[in-house]
Structure 1
């Protein structure tokens, strides 16, 4: 029974009441950067106190800058054509570039210290909070160019590199998908993608075909965007002496190549059981291979729809199973307008969570369509928001956690919802429905994400030799999908590279394998939560707070006592997921 009513429109006014207030905030942040640069130029770099002061300032600036950048992102998401928001985006992009330059200025100061001065700095008690970070900076210094070259690259990136990423968002939001569903209706890309889980197979196929057709018309334009982003990145890496495009994401994710290879090796070993699930689901729809437009469809119509208010109450209740802080946090988010979920056209297509560290808040953006996938997306993004909440006591610079851990809290939240729904299911049909949803997550992380990784790896290899046209991009995507799904997927979208926004991120390439990492890591965390009971929440929050202070290998060893550079660690999580597939097959006595 529905207990509460929650707004599906977020409250942004409580963050900045007027455009003038935001302008003042941006100006204040700009002055903070000016002051830092002036201090850095006269700082006595052998004095740990002065170095710490610079680092503290960088952290404060980052918090203020994130507040403005997140607000701008929210404005554009709710209305991608808002001219004021686009103007603000340009200003915050320039400010971010200036901040990046100020960070590099301080990094260069640290990098020039003699070995003796460096050891003295590390040994200073004042540097306890920054020891890991400055060690990482010193390691990255090998990629640093001259001040003149760094400034040139930063300036060029605003209207070049980053502008292409922003143009991608605008271009995607301009696409309208026409699907004859009784009355002709124009949908956004996000709304069309939501129809993948529609109970009517004809609707799913029409949405799939209409989306493919719309993307085909613009594929050469998207190919230009992707090629220019990759071309800029490769040229920048070349100037820095970076030979392999994976070097940067591995360091940014604070994991080793050995760890990444161990994870994919374990995933590949377990794929057979998931192809068995896909083949069985295909039979439910009368096919030998599962068609791509049937993948997100429910295996049964049980529990097909859930109103937003009921979904919110369910998430609050299940978060509460792991601690009062998680429960109170979720309730506060829903009751205080942190979620934009209204199903309307004109919105951006992708869900996200924006953190507002200055005010200690977050905002979640999505298009809620009443399906279980939407409930999971909502829980996923609230997981990100809870990670932001856990980091509130942490200084600005140590709030950064790698992408490999960015999906940990979000995926844990999904698992909490799915497992709770399965435990509460009474009938065989309900259990099959929930197992199907769980297995979709496994297939996405072990097959779809693997396909994205393979595509991006091969695309960058070819891009080094020149422009890669749309037709070739389609072929690379097709080959990656066939390999990752072990040929068990029918009619996969060869234009997935267009509507996957992660390929167009200008902050970092390869925003794919962190999802698989976070998914498997979350399996281990969930198991610990069920074992440890009430004590879990405290240790979980401590793990999240430490996520910006050490390598991932160190973090897992510290909190779980596990070595993630071996396939054995990953196989533990895979075994839990494989058990879901076996239970799915066993429901119909197929084993």
Structure 2
């Protein structure tokens, strides 16, 4: 791999000119015109009476998939612009325009789905058997069934239009609020004001005084804006609940479970297994507290490093290490990562003005991805980088599939990313030269389990309870803090001395409007990837192609079907989940043994 690497991404190769890009403006204009034309074609469409008359339906299918791909390209580009510079108001305006175009696409899909739902059963079955359509049979059947469970097309289209300046507008308002957040701190005798992303990195500092000081300022700063964040969260949830009510949906989880193509039984079994397995992870938290010289860990201590083996890692060193470890598991994933680093698909520079967090977004027309994070040289940053590269590789192996078959859900999207993290961590553990180094590495690895079993569980408990309360009316900021602290105490088995009541305000995931309940799919992906990784180790070198086949099926099967076909397991039973959790329990037992 060519080095030195540039830690900033190249967006000009997608659309030159940033938020003022003329090619992008033209791209959006053409897309809008095509969607208007598509709407007209829907108005003139006649239901086919036999399979011989489905030619125009095939044309509609091709056009709507083309629009899907182009909208994903546009959405990814604007997401990159707003993430790299939260003061770019033109990018925010472009995001609003893309959401308006998305409403057009949703309206087109509503008409398309209406056609699917009204087709004669015999014609429908014959159409699905045609060569052009058969690869999309799962996705089309899925859309047909979901269309029959929603409002009439005109009302769904109206809801989509109103969501642009309502529901999605509140989501964008949250981003505006976060862009103004500044966390004050004293560094070398001078007062500095960190962005949310920079302050988040500081809370992983080895120095407990630094962590404590930053966390207190962090909690206070979000608290100062709590009323604004509470309004935002309440009105987003209110829109969603009212739409569910009109559709006749009782469960707030219905939409999220459908999006993730999983049953409520699978979700409940997964959480049951985790809850039963938590005691050993509480032992880990207690032992870590002793190692850090505390009676109990505080919130900011949970992800604190144990020991001081890890010096700051440069971006180039992180890239080299990731590529080397990936190559041992999958040469194709390593080759993809080299391309991402060398062709500047990654924005990693540590500078003010960037939004917090990390993400990977796909550009299906360009057949590229872009990865975003703020890299400060911490082990956590290296894990995030590997995680996002896993997402990018997942998209790569699906690039040649029809657009509808590329729409994989968040829970399986997290499979490739968390698997990539596991590869990195296990390879590093094998190279540990002392017990001291192994303790540090095991601690980092177990932190993932704590995040997915406890942190994510707290988010799930909070959001589930908040939505039930919101059905009765607005929920104030103080009550939201109470709900959050209660959920954290339950999820962490009351193992911490201090919690993060304003977590509901600081966590972007509660404000993402595209996917409700942006929490439990992470835990699913973590455990599902653990099962896949165990299978990879069992099967050896020949597993790479089988892994690719599994990833390619993630957009055209339920998770239960996916697990049965590629792993031979039943996700509605506790066996698979217990075996996956047990893999992570083994890490804790080793950690407890070495630190006795």
Distance change >3 Å, CA 427–CA 3, structure 1 → 2: farther
- CA distance in 1 between counterparts of 2:586 and 2:46 reads 60
* SS of match in other structure, 2:516: coil
1:20 corresponds to: 22
2:185 to 167, 176, 179: 179
Determine the C-alpha separation between the residues in 1 that align with 2:311 and 2:567: 37
Equivalent position of 1:149 in the other structure: 155
Asked if the contact 1:45/1:110 (under 8 Å) is kept, the reply is no
Q: Within 2, Cα distance between the matches of 1:557 and 1:91?
A: 42
Partner of 2:38: 36
Per the alignment, residue 166 of structure 1 pairs with: 172
What displacement does 1:150 show? 2.0
Separation in 1, partners of 2:67, 2:47: 20
Whether the aligned pair in 1 keeps the contact of 2:2 and 2:342 (CA below 8 Å) is no
**Equivalent residue for 2:538?**
531
Q: TM-score, normalised by structure 2?
A: 0.97
Matched, 1:357 2:364: yes
Superposition map of 1:130-149 within 5 A: 130-149=136-155
CA distance in 2, matches of 1:49, 1:402: 30
2:7 aligned counterpart, secondary structure: coil
* Cα distance between partner residues in 2 of 1:560 and 1:460: 35
Match of 1:430 in 2: 437
Indicate whether 1:65 and 2:71 are aligned.
Answer: yes
CA offsets, 1:147-187, max 9 Å, x none?
A: 33223211211111101001111111210000112221110
Counterpart position of 1:261? 268
String of CA shifts for 1:333-358, please: whole Å, max 9, x gaps.
Answer: 00011110111111111211111010
Instruction: Tell me if the contact between 1:282 and 1:289 (Cα under 8 Å) persists in the aligned partners.
Output: yes
The alignment of Structure 1 onto Structure 2 pairs a total of residues equal to 588
The match for 2:105 is: 99
Equivalent pair of 2:85/2:355 in contact (CA under 8 Å) = yes
Match for residue 397 of structure 1?
404
**Structure 1 segment 183-582 matched on structure 2, within 5 A:** 183-582=190-589
Offset at residue 144 of structure 1 (A)? 2.4
Residue deviations 1:82-134, cap 9 Å, x none? 12211211111111110111111100111112333333333434321221112
Give the CA deviation at 1:519. 0.2
Q: Secondary structure at the residue paired with 2:308?
A: coil
Gaps of 5+ in 2: none
Contact 2:391 2:417 in 1 (8 A): yes
2:235 and 2:105 mapped to 1: Cα distance?
24
- How far apart, CA to CA, are the structure 2 residues paired with 1:55 and 1:315? 40
Does the 8 A contact of 1:48 with 1:126 survive in 2?
no
Aligned partner of residue 201 in structure 2, secondary structure: helix
Q: CA deviation at 1:3?
A: 7.7
SS of the aligned residue for 1:580 comes to helix
Deviation at 1:23, TM superposition (A): 0.9
Out of 380-389 and 296-305, give the one that drifted further.
296-305
- What's the offset of the Cα at 1:39? 2.6
Give the CA deviation at 1:509.
Answer: 1.4
Deviation at 1:374, TM superposition (A): 0.4
Q: Counterparts of 2:303 and 2:198 in 1: how far apart (Å)?
A: 14
The secondary structure found in structure 2 opposite 1:52 is: helix
**Inter-partner Cα distance in structure 1 for 2:394 and 2:54:** 31
Question: SS of 1:407's equivalent?
Answer: helix
Whether the 8 Å CA contact 1:3–1:313 is kept in 2: the answer is no
Give 1:111's match in structure 2, choosing from 108, 114, 117. Answer: 117
- Matched with 1:11 is 10
TM-superposed deviation, 1:391: 1.1
Q: Work out which of the residue numbers 80, 90, 95 in structure 2 matches 1:84.
A: 90
For 1:192-217, what per-residue CA distance to the aligned partner results, in whole angstroms no more than 9, with x for missing partners?
A: 11112101110000110010010110
What secondary structure, in the 3-state scheme, does the structure 2 residue paired with 1:321 have?
helix
**In structure 2, how many angstroms separate the alpha carbons of the residues matched to 1:37 and 1:446?**
45
Contact 1:254/1:552, CA 8 A, preserved across alignment: yes
Instruction: State the SS of the aligned residue for 1:467.
Output: coil
Query: Higher mean Cα deviation, 108-117 or 73-82?
Result: 108-117
| SS at 1:197 equivalent | coil
CA distance in 1, matches of 2:269, 2:251: 19
Deviation at 1:218, TM superposition (A): 0.4
Name the CA distance, whole Å, in 2 between partners of 1:28 and 1:420. Answer: 48
Tell me if structure 2 keeps the 8 A contact 1:48–1:127.
no
Q: Alpha carbons of 1:560 and 1:48: their partners in 2 closer, same or farther (altered >3 Å)? A: farther
For 2:337 and 2:128, locate their aligned partners in 1 and report how far apart those are by CA, in whole Å: 40
* Residues in 1 aligned to 2:379 and 2:220: alpha-carbon distance in whole angstroms: 27
Are the counterparts in 1 of residues 106 and 157 from structure 2 also a CA contact under 8 Å? no
Once the two structures are superposed, what CA deviation does each residue of 1:313-347 show, in whole Å capped at 9, x if it has no partner? 00111111122211110000000111101111111
Partner of 2:55: 49
